[in-house]
Structure 1
Amino acid sequence: MDIALAILLTLLLGLLMAKLALFQPRNRNSPPCISGWIPWFGAAFQFGKAPLEFIEQARVKYGPVFTVFALGNRFTFVTEEEGIEAFFTSKDLDFEQAVQPTIQRTIKASIPADIFYRNHTRLYLTIKGKVSLSRLYLFAGTLCKELHEHMDHLGTSGTENLSDLIRSVMYPATINILFGKGVCPTNKSDMKEFEGHFQKYDEDFEYASQMPAYFMSNWSKSKKWLLKMFENVVSDAERVSRPESDSKTVLQHLLDNVHGKHLAPNYALLLLWASQANAMPVAFWTLAFILSHPSIYKNIMEDIVSVFGKAGKENIEVSEDDLKKLLLIKWCILEAIRLRSPGAITKKVVNPLKIQTFTIPAGDMLMVSPYWAHRNTKYFPDPETFKPDRWKEANLEKNAFLDGFMAFGRGKHQCPGRWLAVMEVHMLVVLLLYKYELILLDPVPKESPLHLVGTQQPMGACRVQYKPRQ
């Protein structure tokens, strides 16, 4: 009994010492810290249970700058304009150092840091150049044909979860655009297995970026399956003769520029994830909001008919110029993005950073929440309401968004594929609404639980009935 008591007291003393060592402020000017009481895990359980509410409640309780200790890391949130401006402009912050551990955990643990940094810049510039606004015309025609082809697989009518409907059309179309027709699995049985593994990989990506691999066994199995598949994809791509530059797929451009050819399958998987993780949720939320607002739905259909004639009579060809005439749909896309933006984006503090009266120490992850920033009434009056016409004020002809909008980032680290993703969603919405009469059978879902450092919020359950337009 005495031995058991001694062991218990030793354990309690060890926990207390670990808590004091881990959670003590680095200096008196550090922001208030929410640390929890469990070593390493810290406040991860409270934060992970309802992150959006956690951020807002912490802001109210502790002020606009506060730190959360979770999973061995210090996440310092800035929630007002001075801190947000510093996040996007300060030279004391580094984006690549923030994402490098995530890439190591989720793509390939053996990528040396120096190789990652060399590849990141090269591949970012490659992707940015190949899917820029000036080159979208190279994708538009093929994308339209792909969407038609996979939309035909839906049949004439049915009832389906809206997220599954979008995935079944958008997923294979995007893969064929980026990787080449038939490069990835395309027959029904193989595609189902492929989609199943990717869906698991995508859904748990953010958790896997923070948690040790032994907590994520099913996710790890799906990652291994996908990497094995991409080994074959890359091998096949290397064997075929390379076309001229404008005829190359995005995958082929990636293979031309990756440093360390043995890492090509890993970067192919990263390309797949990056192309899908945001675009499909954006399409889901855009359609869900449109279908739940009858007057907006009606106005959109009038616009579509004015451009293409009576809806549903044939497979239409949709060009970039056609999309420019359907501005209300683009407003709906941007408004859906505003309302369902990431809960948090991050950079690493590399030198002590002063914000207000606080000094944020080097090593912290500095966090900004686009979700809450997009609810700032200074920039977005009536922020919880889906109001596409607020985007009339944006100069979209010059590709300028509304002040306060940060879903795609700012500066040199903006999402390189944002214009292609918006075009994909825009075209998908046009074709679906042109061909089918869609009826939402369930209310628009509320926000899904948010990951620690997120992409767009995951899609919710929402059934939709579709039938051909008369």
Structure 2
Amino acid sequence: MGVMEFFSPGVIAVLGSCVLFLFFRWKNLRGPPCIQGWVPWIGAGFEFGKAPLEFIEKARIKYGPIFTIFAMGKRMTFVTEEEGINVFLKSKHVDFELAVQNPVYNTAWIPKNVFFSLHEKLYVLMKGKMGTFSTHQFTGQLSEAFHEQLEDLGARGTVDLNDFVRHLLYPATVNTLFKKGLFPTDERKIKEFYQHFKTYDEGFEYGSQLPEWLLRNWSKSKRWLLTLFEKNIDEIKAHKSVAGHSRTLVQAVLDVVETESRQHSPNYGLLMLWASLANAAPIAFWTLAFVLAHPEVHKTVLEAISSVFGTTGKDKIKVSDDDLKKLLLIKWCVLEAIRLRAPGIITRKVVKPIKILSHTVPPGDLLMVSPFWLHRNPKYFLEPDSFKPERWKEANLDKNAFLDGFMAFGGGKFQCPGRIGTGEGGHDLCLVRFTLYIRWFALLEIQICIILVLYKYDCSLLDPLPKQSCLHLVGVPQPEGRCRIEYKQRT
């Protein structure tokens, strides 16, 4: 008896209809090309993990403007051209907070129920307060904080540039954003803070994804930082930072957090600490490294600083808003460094099927954009691998309008709705808004830091400009090798 004799003509017709239905549905909902490897669950994880930035660009060249990488049980769909990026930024069917909730729990122990219950309250706070918490209120504080750190450096020295900027930025940021005196002053405790934050920061990407028992040193540093906030959270909330500004944005956020769960205020404090330090220091590093590696740019920057403050390096100057407006070249240098050393990825989670070009991206996929590679697209940036601060003349920075194709803050064709406050995109903007506030603060402090360093010291590189590390995707890439500088007080 043949196999087909077990089935009646009616059953065969139904099965045939199902096959045709599934075929046409597959044809109409065809997903992007998928790189999935041969090993179940791990997929392309091993190859992707060796050099993820290079892997992304090779996949774009081979598969086109949209493709999926299956690795470690996750589907990551990358979009690299305008239509896909616009969907990433503006679609109501992709969600930022769903994409980051698990990493937030892993790195700061903020439970899912607390994280999501604070959506509405944080969103209302950010929507109402972003305009009143002006970053420019910090110019005087930051100038004073940087002068304190510069005095510790002495008249001359040789040091790794990464350590140099951390020595300046870490204390200034912590004492200004959180509480004067939170950053330790005892040499042993300073070293302890640096070591624990460095361990936490460098392991952040792994800690966001891997079980904690695999990362013992990282876990130990996370606990140390959480304990620091547990001991100081009440003083941070009570601290009066600037005359005329009774509540800082950090204090306002902590007030909202405590309406839901007082015990998790230290956890949000840790998250805010990482957001304020993790990218500011490497961007300051890269900006100074690029300027010092380009003699003509360096010369022009020094002439601009001297035209505003004079040529001596001994005066204890205060950088004002008006000074920053006269020194736009410094801001151009910072933005150009951000363009060249942008994060490897930013992510959203797909919650409903979305159509991009001829493909349908299914729910559950992580939708990815790589600012690092977008900023190297010659369609938007001529000579994309060159450090050219003058290209920022074309941007309308007075209105916070950046160059087309620049993804760090949103701008041009890729305007980020979280920055302009249109309310599009849902309540995921509460975290976007806070992140943008931190970015504006970081942009301000990096400019002031560079102005004061180059005003006080003659600096020169002792090593070639290092390449960026291609091992990490989250945050600004670190240098691949050492980069020493020699500094001497200007006379």
- Which of 456, 462, 478 is the aligned partner of 1:458? 478
Deviation readout 1:79-129 (Å, 9 max, x if unpaired): 111111111111110011111111011110xx4423202335544665687
2:156 is aligned to 157
Residues 242, 168 of structure 1: alpha-carbon distance in 2 compared, 3 angstrom cutoff = closer
Rounded Cα–Cα distance in structure 1 between residues aligned with 2:108 and 2:196: 14
Matched-pair contact (CA < 8 Å) for 2:353–2:363: yes
Residue type at the aligned position of 1:468: Q
Matched-pair contact (CA < 8 Å) for 2:54–2:470: no
Residues 217, 465 of structure 1: alpha-carbon distance in 2 compared, 3 angstrom cutoff = same
Report 1:74-93 matches (<5 A): 74-93=75-94
Report 1:95-134 matches (<5 A): 95-108=96-109, 111-120=110-119, 122-123=121-122, 126=125
The Cα of 1:238 is off from its aligned counterpart by 5.7
Give the length in aligned residue pairs: 442
Residue type at the aligned position of 1:455: G
1:376 is aligned to 377
Question: Is 1:223 matched with 2:222?
Answer: yes
2:45 is aligned to 44
1:437 is aligned to 458
For the residue of structure 2 that corresponds to 1:417, the secondary structure is: helix
**Which is further off, 366-375 or 403-412?**
403-412
Residue type at the aligned position of 2:464: P
**Alpha carbon RMSD of aligned pairs, Å?**
2.2
**Which is further off, 429-438 or 256-265?**
256-265
Residues 243, 344 of structure 1: alpha-carbon distance in 2 compared, 3 angstrom cutoff = closer
The Cα of 1:46 is off from its aligned counterpart by 1.3
Report 1:259-408 matches (<5 A): 259-408=260-409
Matched-pair contact (CA < 8 Å) for 2:292–2:459: yes
Residue type at the aligned position of 1:90: S
2:63 is aligned to 62
User: Over alpha carbons, which structure has the higher Rg?
Assistant: 2
For the residue of structure 1 that corresponds to 2:315, the secondary structure is: coil
The Cα of 1:43 is off from its aligned counterpart by 1.6
**Which is further off, 38-47 or 374-383?**
38-47
Rounded Cα–Cα distance in structure 2 between residues aligned with 1:320 and 1:181: 22
Report 1:406-425 matches (<5 A): 406-409=407-410, 410-412=416-418, 413=432, 415-425=436-446
Rounded Cα–Cα distance in structure 1 between residues aligned with 2:48 and 2:147: 42
The Cα of 1:241 is off from its aligned counterpart by 9.1
**Which is further off, 270-279 or 175-184?**
175-184
Residues 243, 88 of structure 1: alpha-carbon distance in 2 compared, 3 angstrom cutoff = closer
1:255 is aligned to 254
For the residue of structure 1 that corresponds to 2:337, the secondary structure is: helix
**Which is further off, 339-348 or 131-140?**
131-140
Residues 40, 212 of structure 1: alpha-carbon distance in 2 compared, 3 angstrom cutoff = farther
The Cα of 1:399 is off from its aligned counterpart by 1.1
Matched-pair contact (CA < 8 Å) for 1:339–1:384: yes
For the residue of structure 2 that corresponds to 1:419, the secondary structure is: helix
Deviation readout 1:115-151 (Å, 9 max, x if unpaired): 2023355446656876758622321101110011011
The Cα of 1:45 is off from its aligned counterpart by 1.9
Rounded Cα–Cα distance in structure 1 between residues aligned with 2:178 and 2:129: 13
For the residue of structure 1 that corresponds to 2:387, the secondary structure is: coil
The Cα of 1:50 is off from its aligned counterpart by 1.1
Question: Is 1:193 matched with 2:192?
Answer: yes
Rounded Cα–Cα distance in structure 2 between residues aligned with 1:311 and 1:375: 39
Rounded Cα–Cα distance in structure 2 between residues aligned with 1:73 and 1:387: 38
For the residue of structure 2 that corresponds to 1:153, the secondary structure is: helix
Matched-pair contact (CA < 8 Å) for 1:342–1:371: yes
For the residue of structure 2 that corresponds to 1:416, the secondary structure is: helix
